[in-house]
Amino acid sequence: MPAYWIVDVKVTDAARFAPYRSQVPAIIARHGGEYLVAGGSHDVTEGPWQPTLLVVCRFPDRAAIHAFLCDPDYAALKILRTQSAETSAVAVDGIA
For the domain that residue 51 is a member of, what is the CATH number?
3.30.70.100
72 contacts: CB under 8 Å, gap ≥ 6: none
pTM above 0.95, yes or no: no
Residue-number span of the structural domain to which 51 is assigned: 11-86
Check residue 71 and give its pLDDT.
98
pLDDT at res. 96: 79
40 falls within a domain = yes
Task: Confirm whether 94 is domain-assigned.
Answer: no
Task: State the average pLDDT over residues 52-66.
Answer: 97
In a domain, 42, yes or no: yes
Q: By percentage, how much of the chain surpasses pLDDT 90?
A: 98
The domain tally of the chain equals 1
The answer to the question of residue 54 being in a domain is yes
Across the chain, mean pLDDT equals 96
- Residue 50 in any domain: the answer is yes
pLDDT digits (tens, 9 = 90+) for 1-32: 999 999 999 999 999 999 999 999 999 999 99
